[in-house]
Chains A and B, each alone.
Chain A
Amino acid sequence: MNWKFVIALLGVVLMGLALVGDSYSGDSSPTAVASKGESPLERVEHPEVEVGTANQCQECHADTDEDIVAEWFAGKHGKLNVMCFVCHGSTGDDFVVTPTMNRCVGCHADKVETMELPFASGKDCFSCHPSHALSSHALWSEKGWLK
């Protein structure tokens, strides 16, 4: 399978949708941002631990959530040190088990905007980018560009 071709094709289709989608202004300035994910979520409060220490989230979670930490570490976010708290918040009131797309906006605003398009109806980022690997439509995992 030629993934590059598939991605390119998908890009052309998305551009077409962007041009006809009436909920999308087509303005490239980053003003409109999706507000999806604001609905109440099932949450787990982070257990009370000694924080403000020298540790990082993934150190303890490597024991409690070994597979998750391994997926994250091997994925793009892990490689580039985008740590747990960027998506999940601190251990305080803002802690979320399932992050909203609001967290993605910091770096992927243009992609989050496309979630207003018809193709994304009923989906969020994680529908196609499985957490915690967050692979880019399978392209990344095939490249093996990092050890």
Chain B
Amino acid sequence: MVEMSISRRKFLMTSAAASALLTLGKAPDAVARTVGDSIKWTKGVCRYCGTGCGVYKGVQDGKLVAVKGDPKNHNQGFLCLKGFLLPQILYDSRRLTTPQIRKNGKLVDATWDEALDLVAKKFTSSVKKHGPDSVAFYGSGQGYTEESYAANKLFRAGFATNNIEGNPRLCMASAVGGYVTTFGKDEPMGCYEDIDKADVFFLVGSNTAECHPIIFQRIARRKEHAPDTKVVVFDPRKTPTTRIADLHIPFTPGTDLAILNAIAHLIVKWDLVDKNFIKKQLTVGEGKEAGKQWQHYVDFLATYTPEYAESVSGCPKEKIIQAAKWFSEKGKASMSLWTMGLNQRIRGVWLNNLCHNLHLITGKIGKPGSTPFSLTGQPNACGGVRDQGGLSHLLPYGKLSGKPEHRAAMEKLWGLKPGTLPSRPGKHAIAMFQALEKKEIKCMYIMCTNPGQTLPNANRYRKAIAADDVFVVCADIYPTRTTELADVVLPAAVWGEKEGVYGCSERRYQLDSKVVDSPGLARPDFDILLDLGKRCGFGDLLPWKNPAEAWDEIRRIAKDTPYAFWGMTRERLRKESGILWPCPSEDHPGTKRRYVAGEDPLVPADWPERIMFYGKPNKRAVVWCRPQAAPEEVPDGDYPYFFTTGRVIEHWHSGTMTMKCRELKESKGIAELEIHPEDAKALKIRTGQAVRVISRRGNAVFPARVTDTSPRGMFFVHMHDEDRLCNKITIDAYDPGSKQPEFKICAVKVEKA
């Protein structure tokens, strides 16, 4: 329960007078929130999370006024509250409508010619003077695939640098690392439809109810139709997701590796493993750990008794045993879903491997309802960045920038002279901003993302972005905590004002639609990049008249790769409500379950086994021995509390969009600090009181909320409040494999502000 705050008392006093305000005859809804007969509806995709719900956009008198769910898409017509309120993100009076250039410390209006000529001059002269790696691109899992592809080609083939990176490094890189190390290829093998067939759900480090509400609804619906369905939620916090949980596994932050290994320990001990599957389809370890036998894994697990896991994690062993029983029961389908709780960790890749392990050793994979499934946070992190190759170490569609043969193949596909693509490694997100800090990178183009708010250890990197002797360009739709630091701000078109492809969590690619024009001088990122390319002398690399032409090139580039979506023509995407790749031909319906013989077109017809893990040379998935390992920073005498950040259902990312919707701004519009009642008592803190949270890196002040949602010894705030930057507190230590920072865990102290 939550203590009463000041504003709540005020409400109770004023609401007594409410009856005096009774009025008659007013219009029932504001125009922007109504639906009527004269509305023209066009199919599209929701702008927010990686669930990728199909929507219809309603236009009336040239204005986008309403949104409703697409009944033919996976969301079956349903939307979450953010999706329903999308029209408001177009029309706030603060929209950026004119390019701006910083002069004498102030951003002043400019023409497109002035702004882009300046950007072109700065970038090309920097390359000439300081080399190609003095420029960088920092993109987003929210740009359309065509936009991210244009940037990728411009920077790698044009400027000849691998310094092309994106915010999915902050949210999905560990999932990529997990899929690649276990299966050899990125992206999930299952699909949302598996939810309808699962008997057991493991929601691990995922507040599905708030972060992926339509996935949560589908799980709840499964439970409604099959009441024996079990839902197990692994989370230190008692989130709204636990409301449908049959079992909540709470634990000390950072100890979930021990719990997942303990579950595997029990499955092996009870002999509930799938011996045939292990023998024919799996291998233990790889690379430096290659050549290990099954017994090695069994020996590794010996330490992880439920008693040991309890002693490490603080979670009662009975709960761990119950979870293991449900997951491993023969004949039951088990599905695990996870997101930032696992990914935003210095052992994020290991945690992903441990989830995969559970499915592999039980053979609960590649069957309806049985699959490991990483949920994505952004609408096009999968399609536009992971698949399309928008991270420094990648090239488009499964190729790697560090492999000479991959670069050569890419040069051929792009019609480049051999040796054009750079062999020098690019910088991952944190290294990129550290290079900006050291002035090794002198020019950076930031598109459709807000690192001034969302990078961990934000004080440090905000200073780097704001420095006088670096040149930072930021294209966005509203002023943000990044545009305030940039040297040039470019006004971008927003969702509804431009067209492009989004690829969501389940390998579903779908076309989002343009239904209205942009205000003022705002332009789609695609147009801006093409214009900039021309001004830099790289017009030939980006020859398309529109995103549809770029899409045809992208389909060709991906044709002979495991992504294989040649069959997804623009016309098909316009008609259909999304298609799951692989989809190699125009008459192919798309692939629900990857790697599965008879379903995945890339598995040869004569393959003798149920599954072919074709991502690995020996066609076997890898079981990894990943030990419990502590987070980078744990509480001590000086900083005695855990601090974690997360999301609420009303808001999304840095709040640039959701805080422009009045209903959403009014609900959880401020980040507050969740404090457990016992901690609050000890610290003499009441709900509503201002509390300063201090880490070794920085501090921020939040109003307190005394609640038992967060456990004792841990504080939580949401990340969406641009006026209270939680990332001044978070740590920029990152996973050595995925390079994803550990946003989820650091140590803090608090004082009354």
Q: Which residues of A pack against B, CB within 8 Å? A: 28, 30-33, 35, 37-38, 40-57, 59-60, 63-64, 79-83, 85-86, 89-94, 96, 100, 102-103, 105-110, 140, 143, 145-147
> With a CB–CB cut-off of 8 A, which chain A residues contact B244?
79, 146
Contact B227 A57 (CB under 8 A): no
Quick check: is B367 within 8 A (CB to CB) of the other chain? no
B393-437 CB mask vs A (1 if < 8 Å, else 0) is 000000000000000000000000000000000000000000000
Contact B667 A107 (CB under 8 A): no
> With a CB–CB cut-off of 8 A, which chain A residues contact B69?
106-107, 109
Contact B23 A38 (CB under 8 A): no
Say whether chain B's binding surface is mostly helix, strand, loop, or mixed: mixed
> With a CB–CB cut-off of 8 A, which chain A residues contact B243?
79, 146-147
> With a CB–CB cut-off of 8 A, which chain B residues contact A45?
18, 21, 23
Contact B78 A31 (CB under 8 A): no
Contact B670 A54 (CB under 8 A): yes
Contact A89 B663 (CB under 8 A): yes
CA distance A143 to B668 in the complex (A): 32
CA distance A143 to B228 in the complex (A): 12
With A53-B7, A93-B30, A109-B77 in contact, is A64–B12 under 8 Å at CB?
Answer: yes
A-B pair count, CB < 8 Å, reads 196
Contact A105 B71 (CB under 8 A): no
Q: Give the shortest distance, in Å, between A69 (CB) and chain B (any CB).
A: 13
Contact B667 A85 (CB under 8 A): yes
CA distance A48 to B26 in the complex (A): 18
> With a CB–CB cut-off of 8 A, which chain B residues contact A91?
666
CA distance A35 to B58 in the complex (A): 14
Q: How many residues of B contact A (CB 8 A)?
A: 72
CA distance A80 to B67 in the complex (A): 19
Contact B15 A47 (CB under 8 A): yes
Q: Give the shortest distance, in Å, between B615 (CB) and chain A (any CB).
A: 36
**7 closest residue pairs by CB, A with B:** A94-B30, A85-B663, A106-B84, A45-B21, A90-B662, A54-B672, A47-B14
> With a CB–CB cut-off of 8 A, which chain A residues contact B8?
55, 59-60, 63
CA distance A134 to B327 in the complex (A): 34
Contact A54 B703 (CB under 8 A): yes
A94's closest neighbor in chain B, by CB? B30
B21's closest neighbor in chain A, by CB? A45
Contact A86 B84 (CB under 8 A): yes
> With a CB–CB cut-off of 8 A, which chain B residues contact A147?
243
> With a CB–CB cut-off of 8 A, which chain A residues contact B27?
40
Partner of B37, one of A35, A46, A89, A103: A35
Quick check: is B56 within 8 A (CB to CB) of the other chain? yes
Contact A81 B240 (CB under 8 A): yes
CA distance A112 to B319 in the complex (A): 44
Contact A90 B663 (CB under 8 A): yes
Q: Give the shortest distance, in Å, between A142 (CB) and chain B (any CB).
A: 11
Quick check: is B466 within 8 A (CB to CB) of the other chain? no
With A30-B41, A102-B29 in contact, is A48–B666 under 8 Å at CB?
Answer: no
A104's closest neighbor in chain B, by CB? B35
Q: Give the shortest distance, in Å, between A25 (CB) and chain B (any CB).
A: 13
CA distance A31 to B36 in the complex (A): 10
Quick check: is B223 within 8 A (CB to CB) of the other chain? yes
With A86-B81, A92-B662, A110-B77 in contact, is A49–B28 under 8 Å at CB?
Answer: no
